Structure 1
């Protein structure tokens, strides 16, 4: 009768299986005698004896040190552990309690990613559902219909609107906005560009100046062209529009203040002309000043700060039998306005006058202070030329 195969290693108690030749824990030969004889006959005496000697007779302490005995576990978990014992170090599995778990940083990053995803989803989804979407506040409108000429362009203030916000303004505030609708028409002969961020401001009660917040257009206008623009300012809703002034002009220009009231009085900025018809003699010529005109802009150019343009027109006679060379009007024409004496900015007065010429046309443009109304035309060279100076006094 064949000897039964042991179910546990006689040395260390490790569980075995019928086909196992050596203990997987301590290396002891565990074949029954009849099975060992069969192996001996198949492999030969020498090989069998070498296996038996090398494994069965190896010092027990070596095996015990490398493979310490473990209590027998009937649920076969010790077999899994035995596999790990003989596996390469890189592939061994640690106990479940020692496996890697996400740390605090990993958890924090995961939470942050979820918050970002949720925030992006809410940003796009909620407005579609009408949740959290800003609404347009009530808009009040006042008709103005006030026209003023700036730098040769007629600017008509069509109406003014007030609201807490303007949804179509990308820079809108929520605590008060003021909007002025304007129409621009280029009255000059040359193209012009209106840079509203530089030239448009509003003046609040108490004198505070507020810069333009947003303009729908900075139009470039060809001669005769018309466009429209909306000008937005951040103004507290508590300040009524009829207490506010629109100021046109850069800081280095002659600025014009227009009350935001229906049909506001802006006559002080209008072009003004008066007939003078006074004559002065100079260089044997008779200069009749026929008309004087003041304006705040000329040829698409706004007057400098504190100044305005004065244009004088002439009829010039030469009573002599010979032609007269008067020279450049830039040398002998001046206007005294208040404490200032200025030479022409422009002039088209002839240099030479033929014999007995009558009514020769001419004109000259001067820059004079805005607040001066009484002025004098001086006809004389600055260093004196032997001729008596001619003068014409006028008020405009």
Structure 2
């Protein structure tokens, strides 16, 4: 036979109990919560159990149709709800049963009868039931992870401190190393000045004195030579030294443009260095891009790449491009440059050209003229003339003078100052002019004055030694 259960919490109870022993819910006397087979008719049960009669049942279990039971009357608040309708004045026996303690009050709510211990909804202070089968439960709170950020920050700080300390130590080491190198360089320079290390290829610097030459009328005075694996003010040598191990030679100099015109030569084209093994290298870079302007004075330097250290006392400098009259000389103090110095002849040689009186004052032979270098195999010859026209006729002439050198005859250069000599008015005296010619060098030169209408030609020969 099936067990009767409470309709509210479904806890089992014994038939006849009016209150659920688990949740305290009242069980109706009409059979609520009773096993269905008991409430219905059953041939196996006694007739009094199958019908609605109250035979054999206590008065309190009657269904209300027993005349022996008092009718439901005044309610008694001190009795259970089902007992409140009975009249204690007419039915002393049932009342005396409750009064004498025969009535058993319902047990307090229990949370152990139902799986999971579900509390009664009417109890606001009941603890929450533990989750049962099929009920939702909160997931357990995971343990709090340890924060690793402070350790990461600490590691970064340590690395930075080590880097700063290492950099500082390296800087101090480099500083002392640089000072030591500077001291060694100074000692070497002093030795160079004393001329005691002519064969020392480790020479770092050499001072030059009394070494000057004119190139394109740029008066160049050389002051010193030095070599190093790079120069801090030269981006070319710094770039080269990063790419490969090399050595560079720098020539220091002072410049002054004395020709009255600007020179626009390129140092990388015009400067070449001849090494002790006779290897020739072109200049790599210079402090200034091109030759100085008219009247400009400045300091400058030119760098050469030599691959490895060289003997600074055995270097030769070549000035001039392949198309120009080149000049070669050793980079040494007091080197003999007489071959390339200007040569001048004070002539004061008088002659007549028609009715006019002329004087050849001076003649100069040199490798350069204002702002320019002579072409290969030639020199500039510059003559100074004075003319007077005592006649009553004006003289007008243009491009009528030539200079002959050997088999070459040349007209004056456009840089000549001969405008006044082209227009000699009647009675003019002491008119001066300068003519510049570019011819092969020779022992003798001849000025040729052309013949014209009513004017015979004249030749004037002179030498420059």
- CA shift in 2, pair 1:242/1:349, >3 Å: farther
Bigger RCO of structures 1 and 2 (CA < 8 A, at least 6 apart): 1
- CA shift in 2, pair 1:128/1:299, >3 Å: farther
1:143 and 2:207 are equivalent in the alignment: yes
Q: In 2, are the aligned partners of 1:269 and 1:296 still within 8 Å (CA)?
A: yes
- CA shift in 2, pair 1:223/1:323, >3 Å: same
Greater strand content: 1
| Equivalent position of 1:379 in the other structure | 449
In structure 2, C-alpha distance between the alignment counterparts of 1:224 and 1:325, rounded to whole Å: 36
Match of 2:419 among 348, 351, 359: 348
In structure 2, C-alpha distance between the alignment counterparts of 1:343 and 1:237, rounded to whole Å: 49
1:166 and 2:263 are equivalent in the alignment: no
Match of 1:360 among 431, 438, 454: 431
In structure 2, C-alpha distance between the alignment counterparts of 1:215 and 1:361, rounded to whole Å: 41
Q: In 1, are the aligned partners of 2:264 and 2:371 still within 8 Å (CA)?
A: no
In structure 1, C-alpha distance between the alignment counterparts of 2:280 and 2:220, rounded to whole Å: 20
More moved, 218-227 vs 281-290? 218-227
* Structure-to-structure mapping, 1:7-86, within 5 angstroms: none
In structure 2, C-alpha distance between the alignment counterparts of 1:245 and 1:127, rounded to whole Å: 44
- CA shift in 2, pair 1:166/1:356, >3 Å: same
- CA shift in 2, pair 1:201/1:293, >3 Å: same
- CA shift in 2, pair 1:249/1:127, >3 Å: farther
In structure 2, C-alpha distance between the alignment counterparts of 1:363 and 1:167, rounded to whole Å: 46
| SS class of match (1:142) | strand
| SS class of match (2:268) | helix
| Equivalent position of 2:96 in the other structure | none
Q: In 1, are the aligned partners of 2:394 and 2:425 still within 8 Å (CA)?
A: yes
| Equivalent position of 1:156 in the other structure | 221
| CA displacement at 1:349 relative to structure 2 | 4.3
Q: In 2, are the aligned partners of 1:282 and 1:380 still within 8 Å (CA)?
A: no
Q: In 1, are the aligned partners of 2:401 and 2:448 still within 8 Å (CA)?
A: yes
In structure 2, C-alpha distance between the alignment counterparts of 1:127 and 1:393, rounded to whole Å: 78
- CA shift in 2, pair 1:215/1:313, >3 Å: closer
| SS class of match (2:208) | strand
Structure 1: runs of 5+ lacking an equivalent: 3-121
| CA displacement at 1:228 relative to structure 2 | 2.3
In structure 2, C-alpha distance between the alignment counterparts of 1:256 and 1:200, rounded to whole Å: 10
| CA displacement at 1:316 relative to structure 2 | 1.6
| CA displacement at 1:300 relative to structure 2 | 1.7
Match of 2:357 among 281, 286, 291: 286
| Equivalent position of 1:300 in the other structure | 371
1:185 and 2:250 are equivalent in the alignment: no
In structure 2, C-alpha distance between the alignment counterparts of 1:326 and 1:155, rounded to whole Å: 41
| Equivalent position of 1:255 in the other structure | 326
In structure 2, C-alpha distance between the alignment counterparts of 1:291 and 1:394, rounded to whole Å: 10
Q: Count residues with an aligned counterpart.
A: 268
| SS class of match (2:313) | helix
In structure 1, C-alpha distance between the alignment counterparts of 2:325 and 2:167, rounded to whole Å: 51
In structure 2, C-alpha distance between the alignment counterparts of 1:339 and 1:126, rounded to whole Å: 74
| CA displacement at 1:387 relative to structure 2 | 4.2
Match of 1:334 among 402, 408, 414: 402
- CA shift in 2, pair 1:282/1:304, >3 Å: same
Q: In 2, are the aligned partners of 1:156 and 1:182 still within 8 Å (CA)?
A: yes
TM-score by length of 1: 0.58
Q: In 2, are the aligned partners of 1:162 and 1:237 still within 8 Å (CA)?
A: no
In structure 2, C-alpha distance between the alignment counterparts of 1:127 and 1:258, rounded to whole Å: 48
In structure 1, C-alpha distance between the alignment counterparts of 2:295 and 2:318, rounded to whole Å: 24
| Equivalent position of 1:246 in the other structure | 317
TM-score by length of 2: 0.50
Q: In 1, are the aligned partners of 2:227 and 2:248 still within 8 Å (CA)?
A: yes
| Equivalent position of 1:72 in the other structure | none
1:389 and 2:457 are equivalent in the alignment: yes
| CA displacement at 1:217 relative to structure 2 | 3.3
| CA displacement at 1:181 relative to structure 2 | 1.1
- CA shift in 2, pair 1:343/1:239, >3 Å: same
